[in-house]
Amino acid sequence: ASSFLGRHLSDSRYSSSRKKQEGSRGACIPAGSMSGAEVATLGLATRAFAALSPQLLVAASTAVSLFSWLQLAKITLPAAVASLAILATIPFHLSAFYYHLTKDNFFDLDSYVSKGIEGHPNKKISFRDRIKVAALNELSVGRKVSRSSASHPLTSGKSPYIKGLDVSSLRGQSDPPLSEPEIVVGTIRMGFGHHRIAYSACSWGLQGQHKVLFHDLLNIKSPEADLIKETDRKYSMGSRIATEMGSFFERVWGRLTKSGDENMLRGTYLMAENIKPLLNGLPKDTPIIATHSLVGLTAVACGFKNVINLVIDNYPQWFVIVPGAVNLVQGPINHRTFLRWGVPQAEIRLAGHWCPADLVENIEQDCKARKARRAAKKPVRLLVPVGGAGAQRKFVTRFLEELRGPILAGEVQLMLNAGDHKHMRESFEASLSKMGFKKSDYEVIGSMQGVEDYAERLRSGSEPAKAITLFAFEDYFPAVATTDVLSRVADVLACKPSELAFYPVPKLMLRRVGDHEAASAVRAAELGDGTTEVRTVEDAVAWVKLFGLTDAVLSDMNDAIMLNGRNGVYDGCKTAVELAREMARGGR
């Protein structure tokens, strides 16, 4: 663009010959409105800037464009200078506004993240950082909600799905007040992952006959909940666009998911300060297990004394840490990295993976059953779930279609979990039709009771009624819970390296949605209970065929799972609940 400007703006003949022809249409007005000497000088300057540095080149091009716009708009030079002066003050206003946003914060986040370790402090917040955080806050929060020390009145009711579990909601006029729980599991329904981890924690909490409250911030109908929903909507849309469009969009999304630095933590904490009414109605000394960092940050901002943050993923980012809480991590990479960054040793512990009690307590039994199936040359039973954002449609449907041969040959049995995504059910059905399967050729299950009955039949040694079973639901809970129930009877869990990458079941790690997930696949491969990340459909199909051709791969994975189980690798949620009980007794 600069070369074009330099070439043509320095050509006085171009300027004079085109002025009359195109001046009425608005083309080349800047060149036509300048003298030949001015044009030549500007062109030479642009070329000189281009030779010096790209930054000067861009500045010169911008200056030419601005001059052109001023000529078209007939704006006088003094007015333009005044406008530019006002625009130039915006960064300084944003930087100053950051101090306004943070002056009443409950927690001094800047001091926390800049402390580092002795002799090696982290960088302090810069002018540019303050601008970024203030701008991010304006985009995400703005004037949608205002800070308040008020609380939304809460009540609770029994879960229709999990016996003994209380679920919080906004209290109506005729509802009883919330009775004090012994443990709160706080979460946000953003995708399936955070809810899956929350239900895993509840499964361990309920074993001790403790009163556990499942507190989903989105279940408290309010402007604050709407603010979080809008953030989730944008994230889900980004995930779907990245997986469907691929290429440039996937690379951009991948970089975004790995950008959870100090500024992202600062921005998230500012949001937490604005949504405190969602937690203020709970007793502050009650232990709260947070399965999303925003929940943990909000609890700290509210003044909760006993906050446990279950850190997600295997990729260390400031964004997933909750200062002032006990941060439990799943693996040594996060543990050591956060210590190096300066997270106090009292606030970071290696706990293990976030897994439900039923899966962990039956590791030995389920792994031996899988090994017996392989020894008997049974079909490979493949569980393919779809994530909460509904992404991966293109990859998963292509993967399904390429399995037509092994399915017809009796080498593979498929369990497809479309969750509560109507578009995924339709895509699965369209692919099955394309593969030549009629609706009578596969079974469809749409209730939690149907899932439980199906799993129980398989655990008793029976085979599925059809080689393909499609699970599709209207409600959210069965969509999440089905994968947990079916993991016990699956030979292989084929999924992206999300929270499921940490489950005690042999795993085929499919193509990631965000780049931060890549490290979770590495964790599974190094523990021996999963493959490395599989980026292409062809490679995924080859792995499935390998599972059937040799007993060695799946046998080794099951042996690794049993060894990991004995070593407590999958005990993360159990550890979290034990810590919450210790806190409730007054210890930490």
- pLDDT for 95 equals 87
Could you give all domains of the chain from N- to C-terminal order, each with its CATH number?
Answer: 2-77 (no CATH), 90-139 (no CATH), 154-355+573-584 (3.40.50), 357-569 (3.40.50.2000)
Q: Is 99 helix (H, G, I), strand (E, B) or coil?
A: helix
- pLDDT tens, 336-369? 999 999 999 999 999 999 999 999 999 999 999 9
**How large is the average pLDDT for residues 71-95?**
72
**How large is the average pLDDT for residues 448-464?**
96
Burial degree of 243 (CB within 10 A; 0-12, 13-18, 19+) = buried
pLDDT category at 24 given cuts 50, 70, 90 is very low
- pLDDT tens, 473-489? 998 899 999 999 999 99
Query: When comparing pLDDT for 357 and 236, which is higher?
Result: 357
**How large is the average pLDDT for residues 559-570?**
98
Note whether 191 and 169 are within 8 A (CB): no
Half-sphere exposure of 233 (CA within 13 A, CB side): 8
pLDDT at 434 over 80: yes
Sign of CA dihedral 397, 402, 405, 406: negative
154-158/166-170 β-pairing: antiparallel
- pLDDT for 64 equals 62
What's the predicted TM-score (pTM) here? 0.83
- pLDDT for 72 equals 60
| Sequence letter at residue 138 | E
High-pLDDT (> 70) share of the chain, %: 81
Note whether 61 and 31 are within 8 A (CB): no
Alpha helical stretches, state H, 190-347:
193-205, 223-245, 247-256, 262-274, 293-302, 332-341
Note whether 109 and 323 are within 8 A (CB): yes
